[in-house]
Structure 1
Amino acid sequence: MENTFWVALAASSLAALVTALGIYTIRHFEAWGRKYSIYFVCFAAGVLISVSFLHIIPKSFEMNANAPVYLLIGFVLLHLFNRFITAFVCERNPNSRYGIGLIPMLGIGFHSFIDGFVYSITFTVSIFTGALAATGMVLHEFPEGIITYLLLLRGGFSEKTSLILAFLAASLTTPLGMLISYPYINQIDKPLLGALLSLSAGALVYVGATHLLPQTEKEHRKYSMFAFGAGILVAVLIVLTK
């Protein structure tokens, strides 16, 4: 278990680093970041969806007979949270700093914090399961950092303030969530771990299918489908060669 702790911490820290890299890129290489970030989104969507259906969901079904229920709950809860954030933002003045910048930042920060829980859960099940989930999750952190920083800028914050807030909300919250959740994840029994794994799978499917993929539909880039297919292929190859 000690080994899984350090691996989970390393993976969540890598996610934080990738998010920070996204923030750095969009600040210093804005044109490049805008041009290629959609390909990271496509690839991450392919990996997250494939990993969920090919490995994480079957694994959770083995561990808990009620896993399908928790899978649905995980999906619906993340959807409701997203709807709540969207509705809350829309009620605000679209030109206000609070509506455009701060609230989306808080939503992304909460999402990143929950990502830390996913690292704890999946790596506790096995190193392989955690590595599969981490592959897609780490890849989607790059555009997430970009989005957070840009939203804060559009909300009227200065470049320096946007940089600090984006780093705190989108980057540091992931390893923080892992550190807080891991001691409790380690002490739970197999059925409960299966339930949590299924909840995580529902969240991952939501992120991939209803959060990342729609972004690819909005930007019909030449190689977007290739990037999505590459993500699926990578996940399939990893699962088949386990």
Structure 2
Amino acid sequence: MGVLIQIMLATLLSSVLSIILAGLISFKFLDQYMSKMLCISTGLLITVAFTHLLPEAFEIHENAVSIGWTLLVSVLFLFGIEYYFNSHHSHTDHEGTVVSEMIENSRKGAKGGNAILIGDAFHNLTDGILIASAFMVSNSLGWITAFAIMAHEIPQEVGDFMVLLHSGFERANALMWNIISGLTSMVGGLFGYFLLDKVEWMVPYAFAIAAASFIYIAMSDLLPEIARKEKAESFLIQMLFILIGVAIAVAATGSMHAH
């Protein structure tokens, strides 16, 4: 089997299959525990961002300032997206109930959901480049890398599905848009195969953009929502489930730093 075909299969396996498995887990077992899952999702996102994506970006790129600027611009860009939808909604409330409800649904879907999809797209693009790089060394290393990426993608994607459902996405739409976002890994695989020497500079910036989106969603959407939850759920219980998310992320991504 040719190297390019193996790269395409490996990127498809590591992204789309992990998304489908995460969707099955989320929709069948976990969506009834949305409150707890929001806490776990928060722990997953901030841990992946701070202990996986950002360290990788700083390790690859020698200029830490440029990574910092990428984080800053990404956060402001995501804020601009959310502000646009909120502002658009407030200026069109008078247009009628049906239109208002449609805009409200769009705004809800945009809050958190769109940002997490953007971050995932960059993250998956980078994963595709990494898989292609590994295959350029050897086929066995490529498949090991693909399975390692899939192992850490599944728990993260479960957290992403919780964010999308919380943001107002229907299950079918959440699955569809997550798969579309996951397909960028195949684009990254193609870039890596044909243009590896020309696209390597993109990798740390893609990591930084993905990290910014995860941090932004956790801090601007999930944590405030958790703080507003019913008083029956104490701070200690909420922190416990956030720490469970942290532990899952550490267990899933720990092997990725063995290199």
- Do the two structures share a fold, i.e. TM-score over 0.5? yes
Alignment-derived partner of residue 126 in structure 2: 121
Amino acid at match of 1:120: L
Cα shift at 1:116: 2.8
Matches within 5 A, 1:26-41: 33=31, 35-41=32-38
What is the rounded CA distance, in whole Å, between the counterparts of 2:174 and 2:244 in structure 1? 29
2:41 matched to 1:44? yes
Q: CA 1:109 to 1:240, structure 2 compared with 1: closer, same or farther past 3 Å?
A: closer
% of aligned pairs identical?
Answer: 15
Alignment-derived partner of residue 15 in structure 2: 12
Cα shift at 1:196: 1.9
Alignment-derived partner of residue 197 in structure 1: 207
The answer (yes or no) to whether the contact 1:116–1:175 under 8 Å persists in 2 is yes
| 2:247 maps to which of 215, 233, 236 | 233
Q: Deviations over 1:102-156 (max 9, x none)?
A: 45446735752552332121353464884586255302233245335xx47xxxx
Higher Cα Rg, which structure:
2
Amino acid at match of 1:183: L
Matches within 5 A, 1:63-78: 63-64=60-61, 65=63, 66-78=66-78
Alignment-derived partner of residue 93 in structure 1: 93
Q: TM-score, normalised by structure 2?
A: 0.67
Amino acid at match of 2:208: S
The answer (yes or no) to whether the contact 2:15–2:150 under 8 Å persists in 1 is no
SS at 1:219 equivalent: coil
Cα shift at 1:219: 1.3
Matches within 5 A, 1:75-224: 75-93=75-93, 95=97, 96-105=100-109, 108=113, 111-112=116-117, 114-125=119-130, 127=145, 130=149, 134-135=153-154, 137-147=156-166, 151=168, 168=176, 170-180=177-187, 182-184=189-191, 187=195, 188-220=198-230, 221-222=233-234, 223-224=237-238
Cα shift at 1:89: 2.3
Cα shift at 1:93: 1.8
2:47 matched to 1:55? no
Q: CA 1:72 to 1:6, structure 2 compared with 1: closer, same or farther past 3 Å?
A: farther
The answer (yes or no) to whether the contact 1:113–1:173 under 8 Å persists in 2 is no
Q: CA 1:77 to 1:180, structure 2 compared with 1: closer, same or farther past 3 Å?
A: same
Alignment-derived partner of residue 159 in structure 1: none
The answer (yes or no) to whether the contact 2:82–2:110 under 8 Å persists in 1 is no
Q: TM-score, normalised by structure 1?
A: 0.71
5+ long unaligned stretches in structure 1: 153-161
Q: CA 1:164 to 1:61, structure 2 compared with 1: closer, same or farther past 3 Å?
A: closer
What is the rounded CA distance, in whole Å, between the counterparts of 1:140 and 1:12 in structure 2? 15
Q: CA 1:141 to 1:232, structure 2 compared with 1: closer, same or farther past 3 Å?
A: closer
Tell me how many residue pairs correspond in the alignment.
223
Cα shift at 1:198: 1.5
5+ long unaligned stretches in structure 2: 132-144
Alignment-derived partner of residue 136 in structure 2: none
